[in-house]
Structure 1
Amino acid sequence: MANILHIDTSPRGERSISRSLSYEFITSWKDTHVGDIVTYRDLGHSPVPHVDESWIAAAFTPPDARTPQLNEAIKLSDSLIDELLAADRYIFGVPMYNLNIPSTFKAYIDQIVRVGRTFAADENGFKGLVDSSKKVLIITSRGGAFSPGTPFAAYDYQEPYLRAILGFIGLIDVTFIHAENLNTGDDEREKSLVAAKEAIAEAVANW
C-alpha cells in the first residue's frame, strides 16, 4: 500500500487539461491499486502563501529558539513538508505559464524546499534529504511544442527547472508526460491528447 500525494496547480476548473489528465491517471491508478491512499492538494484553487520575512526568520532560527510568532510563521511550511515526506509517490498536474510553472506551484515549492528539512548544506555543498527512491510523475499542458528536437525547445524552463529543484531535495526519479500543441489547431491538439492518454495508461501499468 502506497501513499500518493496528488497536486493540481491550474486555476482553471473543468477547462483545465492538466487537471483532467492528472485526474485520469489517479482514477486509473486507484482502480488497479485499491489499497493506496491518495492525499489531494489543489494549489490552483487553494494557493499557499508566498514566503515572507517572518518565514525566512523562522526557517533560519533553531526550533528551540523560535518565538511563538516565528513558530506560527513556519507552521504551514512544516505541515506541507510533513505531507511531502509522508508520501511514497507524487503526481503533479502542471500547466506551462510563460515558459515555466504557475506561481501557485512556485509558492508551494518555496514552502517545501527548506534547509534542515528537505535539504542539507555544509562545507561540501548541498544534499537532498527526501528519499531518492520515491517516484514523481508530472503531467504538463502546453499551448505549443517545447520538447527536445522542436524549434522552441530552448524556451522550455518548465521541465528543466522542475527536474533541478526536485533533484535538489532528493527526488531524482521524475517522469514527464507533456500534452503539447494544445493551441495549434484541432488536429494537433487531439493528436497530443491521445498521445498523453496513451502515456498515462502506460504509466499506470509501469510506474
Structure 2
Amino acid sequence: MKRYFITGIVVLIPVVITLWVLRVIVTTLDQTLFLLPPNLRPETLFGMNVPGLGVLLTLCIVLLTGVVAANFLGQRLLTLVERLLDKIPVVNSIYSSVKQVSDTLFSSSGQAFRQVLLIRYPHADCWTLAFQTGIPQGLVATHLGEPHLNVYVPTTPNPTSGFFLMVPCREVIELDISVDDALKHIISMGVVEPRQKHPPKKI
C-alpha cells in the first residue's frame, strides 16, 4: 500500500506542477485581452471567457512588434520612443537597464547563458553549476588583475533566483552540456543527470 501511494505521488507531482505553471502562464497572458475594446472581448462575442485567447493575442502582438521594428520606419519610430523615454527621470534608468539585459540575453552574438560552467561555490571544497553571462569590462576589469568571467549561479529548485559572481578563468571548468539539461539538473536537485552535447566518437 505504501509503495503504491509513493508511486502515485511521484507520478502526479510533475503533472500537477506542470498544469499549475501552464495555468499561471495562460491566466497571466489572458490579461492582454483587456487591451481590446469591451465589444471585442470573448465574453461579449461568445458569451463566455475563452482561456488561451490572450496567449494568441500576446503572440500576435510580439510578432507584429518584431515585424514593425525590423523595417526602416519601425526602427526610426523605436529610436524616437527611446529618446522620449530617455528624457523621463526614473523611467530612463529602468528602461535602459532592462534593454541592456534583454539585448545581452537574446542577442545572437552574445554569450549570456550560452555556456554551462562548473565553479567552486560557496567555498573551495564545493562545486556548483553556473552560467556564463559575460566578461568583466571597464573599471571592474582593471581592478581584478587577471581574466575573469561573469557568472550566474542559480538556486535550487527555483533557478530564477541566484547569485552574480565574477570568477577567475583559471577556476572555471566549461561543461559540454546544454543550458536546458543544466537547468533540469538544478531544478531536480541533482536527480536528473545532464547529457553530454557532443558524445565522444566511437573508434
Output the TM-score relative to the length of structure 2. 0.22
The structure richer in strand per residue is: 1
Give the structure, 1 or 2, with the largest relative contact order (CA under 8 Å, sep 6 or more): 1
The structure richer in helix per residue is: 2
